[in-house]
């Protein structure tokens, strides 16, 4: 059945697609971009509704971001799900609250979706919300997962039940360098596997096991990646029997320049305007990347000794927070820089560097011509944003799946070099100085040679895949055709 609307421009006559991101800016952002691309390509035919979970902890100004998206995109609407009661959880860890909210919100999602007329075309859920795909099945429309990490990480997710769960021991009890073999990707050392996967007795391990098993049953998986970046892993997914239905690589979906992010004071652009082309080392570690006071001092000393220009986004160290353990508010509170840095650091480096508290508009910064390289925690959005800007990276994985990303982005794609010592408790000033120096001075070495050229080439490939006739747009068209919609 062709469900194309013949009723012209009216919002109410378009078909509705529901997107359901999990909590966190890094998950909301790519979903919003997916909505923008859908609306942009199917202007007369689709509306998108994005479901937003109400969180008991602050993740920054989601609401102001949402307002700016609505103002710029009348065909995207947001439905805020009601808060849920988590008081039965005693001393919850962050992940208990995170998964608890998603689980308890299922009834609210069901109630909202079943009230919609006509029935939505499809439900696209973030992989952390995989179990909410059951609701679409119950209501009789297809469900898809939007995977906001890379295809190689998806390989590990889909093979998790067989590869990791079939081993008899917890990975944490094996040697750190023991290798885990997933079909279709490089062997993974145990100490690069995400921590929640390493303990079979942990509640979150069991949650991931269930998510992985359920993921294999949805109608399709969209991935925020693109063919020229990860063709081998993308092709390995059906080839290794990991997923029997269609995989749609639809990326790179990064915040479009039209979108304003969390706003705030943009003074750092004036500073960047005064710096020579390609001269600035940009350090920024995602929404949650924090360092101990000792580590901050080592970074500061290393940067100063490297004599490179730098723009550094600094969040409060976790222990300086006086807020609740699971809150992220402290990350956005102004850190007191004088307390954090070595004596006189800010004064001595004032002609070379700028420290910004908590947040910058990263996409716009990366596109500034003064940026020479990006020291990043390798969160997947940050990696894609660097690729789209053609900026070479220094990878310093901190949490979540970022150590896996280090293996793929540094060792396989060779779009980055690793921060020396990233695998130790403390990265020393000498390691920071050496790594930054190597990259900025284009040291002649196996790790650094060709990184700049590969980044420039991948930027062009990213532009091409998003253009008309590009692989990612063809994948999106193929998906929308299965809903009976033709342009």
Residues of the shown chain interacting with ligand UDP in the complex, contacts defined by CB under 6 A: 25-26, 29, 255, 261, 284, 286-288, 313, 359-363, 379-382, 385
238 vs 263 by CB, closer to ligand UDP: 263
314 vs 480 by CB, closer to ligand UDP: 314
Nearest approach, Cβ of residue 359 and ligand UDP (Å): 4
Nearest approach, Cβ of residue 151 and ligand UDP (Å): 15
Nearest approach, Cβ of residue 27 and ligand UDP (Å): 7
Nearest approach, Cβ of residue 478 and ligand UDP (Å): 26
Return the beta strands (E) in 362-401 as ranges: 371-376, 392-395
Q: CA angle 315-421-368, nearest 5°?
A: 50
- CB hemisphere CA count around 130 (13 angstroms): 22
157 vs 483 by CB, closer to ligand UDP: 157
15 vs 261 by CB, closer to ligand UDP: 261
233 vs 382 by CB, closer to ligand UDP: 382
**Residue 371 and residue 312: Cα distance in Å, rounded?**
12
Instruction: Work out the burial of residue 61: count CB atoms within 10 Å of its CB; fewer than 13 is exposed, 13-18 middle, 19 or more buried.
Output: middle
CB neighbour list of residue 386: distance below 8 Å, 6 or more residues apart: 366, 374, 376, 392, 393, 415, 455
Are 172 and 383 within 8 A, CB to CB? no
User: Quick one: tokens of 229?
Assistant: 């970046």
47 vs 381 by CB, closer to ligand UDP: 381
400 vs 475 by CB, closer to ligand UDP: 400
Nearest approach, Cβ of residue 254 and ligand UDP (Å): 7
Are 483 and 477 within 8 A, CB to CB? no
Nearest approach, Cβ of residue 253 and ligand UDP (Å): 10
74 vs 318 by CB, closer to ligand UDP: 318
Q: Per-residue b/e over 305-344, b at no fewer than 16 CB within 10 Å? A: ebebbbbbbbbbbeebbeeeebbbebbbeebeeeebbeee
Q: What is the DSSP string of 42-64?
A: TTTTEEEEEEE---SS--S-HHH
Nearest approach, Cβ of residue 284 and ligand UDP (Å): 5
Are 404 and 156 within 8 A, CB to CB? yes
**Residue 384 and residue 369: Cα distance in Å, rounded?**
18
Are 244 and 238 within 8 A, CB to CB? yes
284 vs 475 by CB, closer to ligand UDP: 284
212 vs 328 by CB, closer to ligand UDP: 328
Nearest approach, Cβ of residue 315 and ligand UDP (Å): 8
Pairing of the two strands 188-189 and 179-180: antiparallel
Place of tokens 């290794």: 240
Nearest approach, Cβ of residue 67 and ligand UDP (Å): 17
Residue 193 CA: distances (Å) to CA of 24, 196, 290: 22, 9, 20
**Residue 133 and residue 71: Cα distance in Å, rounded?**
29
Nearest approach, Cβ of residue 468 and ligand UDP (Å): 25
């Amino acid at each position: 059945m062709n469900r194309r609307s013949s009723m012209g421009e009216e919002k109410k006559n378009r078909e509705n697609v529901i997107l359901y991101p999990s909590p966190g800016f890094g998950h909301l952002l790519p979903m919003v971009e997916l909505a923008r691309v859908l609306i942009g390509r199917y202007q007369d035919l689709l509306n998108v509704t994005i479901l937003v979970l109400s969180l008991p902890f602050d993740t920054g100004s989601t609401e102001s971001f949402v307002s700016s998206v609505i103002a710029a995109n009348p065909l995207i609407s947001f439905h805020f799900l009601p808060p849920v009661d988590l008081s039965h959880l005693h001393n919850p860890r962050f992940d208990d609250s995170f998964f608890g909210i998603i689980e308890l919100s299922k009834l609210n999602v069901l109630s909202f979706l079943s009230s919609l007329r006509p029935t939505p075309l499809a439900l696209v859920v973030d992989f952390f919300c995989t179990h909410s795909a059951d609701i679409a099945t119950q209501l009789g429309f297809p469900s898809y997962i939007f995977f906001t990490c890379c295809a190689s990480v998806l390989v590990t997710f889909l093979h998790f039940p067989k590869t990791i769960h079939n081993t008899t021991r917890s990975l944490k009890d094996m040697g750190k360098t023991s290798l885990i073999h997933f079909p279709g990707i490089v062997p993974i050392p145990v100490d690069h596997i995400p921590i929640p996967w390493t303990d079979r007795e942990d509640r979150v391990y069991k949650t991931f096991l269930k998510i992985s098993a359920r993921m294999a049953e949805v109608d399709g998986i969209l991935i925020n990646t693109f063919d020229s970046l990860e063709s081998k892993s993308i092709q390995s997914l059906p080839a290794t029997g990991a997923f029997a239905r269609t995989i749609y690589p639809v990326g790179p979906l990064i915040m479009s320049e039209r979108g304003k992010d969390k706003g705030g004071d943009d003074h750092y652009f004036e500073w960047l305007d005064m710096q020579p082309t390609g001269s600035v080392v940009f350090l920024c570690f995602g929404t949650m990347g924090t360092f101990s006071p000792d580590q901050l001092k080592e970074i500061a000393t290393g940067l100063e000794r490297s004599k490179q220009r730098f723009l550094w986004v600094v969040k409060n160290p976790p222990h300086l927070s006086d807020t609740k353990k699971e809150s992220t508010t402290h990350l956005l509170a102004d850190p007191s820089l004088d307390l954090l840095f070595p004596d006189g650091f800010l004064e001595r480096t004032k002609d070379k560097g700028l420290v910004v508290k908590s947040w910058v508009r990263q996409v716009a910064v990366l596109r500034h011509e003064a940026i020479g390289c990006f020291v990043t925690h390798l969160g997947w959005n940050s990696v894609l944003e660097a690729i789209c800007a053609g900026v070479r990276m220094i990878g310093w994985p901190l949490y979540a799946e970022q150590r896996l990303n280090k293996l793929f982005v540094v060792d396989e794609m060779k779009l980055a070099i690793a921060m020396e010592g990233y695998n130790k408790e403390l990265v020393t000033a000498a390691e920071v100085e050496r790594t930054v120096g190597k990259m900025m001075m284009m040291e002649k070495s196996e790790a650094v040679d060709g990184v700049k050229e590969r980044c420039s080439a991948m930027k062009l490939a990213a532009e091409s895949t998003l253009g008309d006739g590009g692989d990612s747009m063809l994948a999106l068209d193929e998906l929308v055709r299965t809903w009976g919609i033709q342009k």
